[in-house]
Amino acid sequence: MAQQEEVFKKLIAHCKEYGFVFPSSEIYDGLGAVYDYGQNGVELKNNIKRYWWDSMVLLNENVVGIDAAIFMHPTTWKASGHVDAFNDPLIDNKDSKKRYRADVLIEELLAKYDDKIEKEVEKAAKRFGESFDATLFRQTNPRVQEHQAKRDEIHTRFVKALNDNDLAELKQIIVDYEIVCPVSGTKNWTDVRQFNLMFSTEMGSTADGALKIYLRPETAQGIFVNYLNVQKTGRMKIPFGIAQIGKAFRNEIVARQFIFRMREFEQMEMQFFVRPGSELEWFKQWKVTRLKWHKALGLGDHKYRFHDHDKLAHYANAATDIEFEMPFGFKEVEGIHSRTDFDLSSHEKFSGKSIKYFDPELNESYTPFVIETSIGVDRMFLSIMAAAYTEEILEGGETRVVLKIPASLAPIKLAILPLVKKDGLPEKAREIMENLKFDFKCQYDEKDSIGKRYRRQDAIGTPYCVTVDHETLENNTVTLRDRDTMLQERVSIEQLSAILSEKVSMKPLFKKITE
């Protein structure tokens, strides 16, 4: 774990040093859990958004997009339940004065028991070799059984406390299992309190007439309140989906782990409207599709897992998370929720407007049920960076840091490098760039040795480098260097565009999703 933490620190430093992510308003020492994306970060982020957007609206005839405003009528948040129930249970340690989410402290304790069990299994697997039966071992080994029993006991109490909204019991679990503050190391805790996560502000000029409005904590409500507009104007037939990408804001209690938990972040959400009764079938289907979307990137299939929710939100009848193995463990990147007809019915009630769908096949009207897929752009960004960050020792003992970002998402697709800064090579390199720049994000670099320039491109994840040398002037060929293998091949300038189109296209990823 310590080693993983070390890697995570290096990744954060790398993100800053190479123009991916900066702390917000850094010259004023930053602002808690708010970050800015730099020149390379914004390119990667835009590519992630395009990958998601196209996978929704290009691949599915029955999914269309919208872009709703961040400010919404305040009643929206009454209807959605956020004013009354968008809370986290918080607890303070009186010695360190640090604030924590009580549920997260308990989840971390459960994860410790899982780790202990896995360690026992791994140890035994090594000891017994090929004849080892892990299932039998888990069922019979006394130490594993002991850990499992303890874990089950805590888990049962935890789930009940969450479902009963029993804050005193959450505190009691923390006391009974002697959870200590990671900073002070003490058990000196306050009571657990509820904390609403929405930011509010005022709209209007006079204090009297000003309207209290919220910064949206999720983009989904912008879709629900536009359901009728889109259904009618787009002549959409159920089942159909509405996709949206946009900023969301949450006053998170604990803001750690870099861009994993931010107070201003971006979501990519799709609400899929279906016939009542068919929602669990669609839930299953979207789980499969969304996992394929992740896996198509090739970051490693073993880095993903589903985690079904212990406590269902007030609106859901099924919910799961897609978790990714971050440097700090498996964590939620995307949520898939079967939200029933809760939101549309509630908006119908609060607005007094009918939000029904007339189903011509059934010849009846109903309020559609909804499957939601909701993914954070920033968490996706972090998972890609975490998987891509690689330190390699090369022949001769030199090390290189390389970001193995999937080529189709890489911020810069191609670096164009004249071998030397003379003999007409820069001019030739510029000429090549002039032709390619309409289709690919290219970067020209003539400073320093060619080796140093390759390292700089490796560090920002550029999948291909073209080097223009003296031979180029003779026969119009260049070397094309592959970031991951570092192999170079000689290709003609004319071929470059076609080669690159194939290598950096998102099409193969889309094909994998639809297979």
Shortest distance in whole angstroms from residue 54 CB to ligand ATP: 19
Handedness of CA 243, 247, 253, 254 (dihedral sign): positive
Nearer to ligand ATP, 271 or 374 (CB): 374
Q: Which of 323, 334, 445, 458 binds ligand ATP (CB under 6 A)?
A: 334
R_g of the chain, CA atoms, integer Å: 26
The answer to the question of residue 332 lying near ligand ATP (CB under 6 A) is: yes
Q: Which residues of 339-355 are buried (b: 16+ CB within 10 A; e: fewer)?
A: bbbbbbbbbbeeeeeeb
The answer to the question of residue 267 lying near ligand ATP (CB under 6 A) is: yes
Q: Which of 222, 239, 241, 376 binds ligand ATP (CB under 6 A)?
A: 376
Please state, in angstroms and as integers, the Cα–Cα distance from residue 82 to each residue in 70, 195, 248, following that order: 15, 12, 13
Which range binds ligand ATP by CB under 6 A, 106-114, 356-364, 376-384, 484-492?
376-384
3-state SS, residue 314: coil
Which range binds ligand ATP by CB under 6 A, 16-24, 129-137, 258-266, 460-468?
258-266
Which range binds ligand ATP by CB under 6 A, 8-16, 128-136, 156-164, 328-336?
328-336
The answer to the question of residue 374 lying near ligand ATP (CB under 6 A) is: yes
The answer to the question of residue 253 lying near ligand ATP (CB under 6 A) is: no
Shortest distance in whole angstroms from residue 340 CB to ligand ATP: 16
Question: Residue 409's closest CA among 18, 52, 16, 58?
Answer: 52
Q: Which of 82, 347, 379, 428 binds ligand ATP (CB under 6 A)?
A: 379
The answer to the question of residue 458 lying near ligand ATP (CB under 6 A) is: no
Q: What is the dihedral of CA 118, 121, 123, 127, to 10 degrees?
A: -170
- Retrieve residue 346's tokens: 């509630």
Shortest distance in whole angstroms from residue 84 CB to ligand ATP: 16
Shortest distance in whole angstroms from residue 244 CB to ligand ATP: 13
The answer to the question of residue 290 lying near ligand ATP (CB under 6 A) is: no
Amino acid at 164: D
Nearer to ligand ATP, 339 or 347 (CB): 339
Please state, in angstroms and as integers, the Cα–Cα distance from residue 246 to each residue in 221, 278, 298, 327, 377, following that order: 12, 28, 26, 26, 9
The answer to the question of residue 261 lying near ligand ATP (CB under 6 A) is: yes
Question: Residue 403's closest CA among 391, 417, 413, 415?
Answer: 391
Shortest distance in whole angstroms from residue 44 CB to ligand ATP: 16
- Residues whose CB falls within 8 Å of the CB of residue 413, separated by 6 or more in sequence, listed in order: 407, 440, 441, 442, 462, 463, 464, 500, 504
The answer to the question of residue 252 lying near ligand ATP (CB under 6 A) is: yes
The answer to the question of residue 335 lying near ligand ATP (CB under 6 A) is: yes
How many whole angstroms separate alpha carbon 388 and alpha carbon 18? Answer: 14
Q: Which residues of 414-429 are buried (b: 16+ CB within 10 A; e: fewer)?
A: bbbbbbeeeeebbebb
| Number of residue whose CB is nearest ligand ATP | 376
Residues of the shown chain interacting with ligand ATP in the complex, contacts defined by CB under 6 A: 250, 252, 261-262, 265, 267, 332-335, 374-376, 378-379
